[in-house]
A and B are shown apart, each in its own frame.
Chain A
Amino acid sequence: MIELKDVSKTFTLHNQGSAVIEVISNVSFAVAPGECVALTGASGAGKSTLMRMIYGNYLTQAGEIRIGGLDVVRSEPRDIIKLRRDVLGYVSQFLRVVPRVPTLDVVAEPLRALGVPTDEARDRASALLTQLNIPERLWSLSPTTFSGGEQQRVNIARGFAHSYPAMLLDEPTASLDAANREVVLSLIEDAKARGAAIIGIFHDEAARTRVCDREIDVGRFTPGMAA
């Protein structure tokens, strides 16, 4: 489902003496449907960078990143937008929303974008928010004023609203209490069971062991960091 071939990335900082920083070189691996793969490595090894490259958020200088047949590295913006709408979900560490939009609509939005009728999308959003223990009295408020943990859970609800065939999860259990961590892990297990290919970053080792089938040490691909 997700396939990387000889993927490399450099950052060129034009306004800081044109410094060229090689962050990742020659990464190759594949993730099959129903499989969850963990990216590991020390802080700064490039785990999040690699995830953002797969999402098309960062440009990739060399190699191929295929998701369901589409090469993200060489695609037009509109193909990537379509891929993100239909196929590839991403739960980042930060919630970014239009101010003033109620939480319920923030969570329902990925479904609305797919053309799901408003009521049905809101029903699905309500179910997820309930499951993630966001009190119903908060649903009509914008999540911008919520606590860190609440925002994180809204972000997860939004990421799981649509049953994406491929998912990227950046620290989905960070800043969650035990009960909510358990909910998130079961959401991941459900997604695997329905055949989603998942790449995740988990600092929480117990979580990683429980949901991930394999680990890939990104440090191996980081020039100058290989131990």
Chain B
Amino acid sequence: MTPLLSVQGITKRYGAHIGCADVSFDLYPGEVMGIVGESGSGKSTLLNCMAGHLTPDAGQVVFDTRTNGPRDTITMSEPERRMLGRTDWAFVHQHARDGLRMGVSAGGNVGERLMAVGERNYGDIRDKATDWLGRVEIDASRVDDRPTTFSGGMQQRLQIARNLVTGPRLVFMDEPTGGLDVSVQARLLDLLRGLVRDMGLSAIIVTHDLAVVRLLADRLMVMKSGRVVEAGLTDQVLDDPQHAYSQLLVSSVLQV
């Protein structure tokens, strides 16, 4: 089987400081991988390098495209990469306002992504947008409201709808449940898990919340100081961590 995403030797420096160093892994269709580590461990830098938001100093990010097979997304042209970002890739930001257009209605936020891939029929776009608002549990009566009038949890769900409406194959998520209260987090986790399974999505989730990765991710990478110190099955890394830092991380979680 061809990996959906093959990351090889990704390195990003900020001057003398290492953002992330020599990270390699393969992600297969339908797999969800978590990346954990403390603040400053390089996990967000790595995610942004993979998603094309940052240009790494070295390495390859090879994506199995629908039409041309495996292609290195770092060396591909800007328009091609942007097209990927609108079709097969999605990016869920920690702060919903970074991923939404706050001056546009909820329906418009979802519809905009459809228009970007060539949908033109207003009725179809509005129907699809309303359908997706329903799937993320936003009442259809809010379709014309702006996200500024939504709660944090609703904004996050709207961002997810906007991202998934075009049926992407790979979703990058940066702390998708960060900053939300726990009852809203649980609802979002349930929603994400259902969507991942039903749509057969692959996802890479950066978080510092070990409970989130245990419930969402099949595989886990632990990062420290820009490097991957341990990787494996999520429950294996959490229940039998091998590296000193992973052991510290797991044993530091407060029991509820």
Mark A residues whose CB is within 8 Å of B: 11-15, 52, 56-59, 77-78, 80-81, 96, 98-101, 112-113
Contacts and interface: CB of A to CB of B under 8 A. Distances in A.
Interface of B: 28, 31, 186-187, 189-190, 193, 197, 214-215, 218-219, 232-233, 235-236, 239-240, 242-244, 247-248, 251
Contacts of B197: 112-113
B242 A56 contact: no
A15 B244 CA distance: 6
A100 B243 contact: no
Given A15-B244, A98-B186, A98-B215, A59 B193 contact: no
Contacts, number: 55
A59 B190 contact: no
B247 A14 contact: yes
Contacts of B189: 98-99
A78 B31 contact: yes
Contacts of A12: 242
Contacts of A15: 244, 247-248, 251
A77 B232 contact: yes
B193 A80 contact: no
A81 B30 CA distance: 11
Given A78-B31, A98-B189, A56 B248 contact: no
B180 to A, nearest CB: 13
B167 to A, nearest CB: 19
Nearest to A84: B233
Contacts of B215: 98
Contacts of A59: 232, 236, 240, 242
A99 B187 CA distance: 8
A137 B186 CA distance: 22
A94 to B, nearest CB: 12
A127 B235 CA distance: 29
B187 A56 contact: no
A58 B240 contact: yes
A80 B233 contact: yes
B247 A77 contact: no
Contacts of A56: 233, 236
B239 A58 contact: yes
Contacts of B219: 77-78
A77 B233 contact: yes
Contacts of B251: 15
Contacts of A58: 236, 239-240
Contacts of A98: 186, 189-190, 193, 215
Most A Cβ at <10 Å: residue of B28, B190, B214, B240: B240
B251 to A, nearest CB: 7
Nearest to B242: A59
Contacts of A13: 247
B244 A52 contact: no
A220 to B, nearest CB: 23
A89 to B, nearest CB: 15
A7 to B, nearest CB: 14
B27 to A, nearest CB: 9
A3 B253 CA distance: 36
Nearest to A101: B190
A59 B232 CA distance: 10
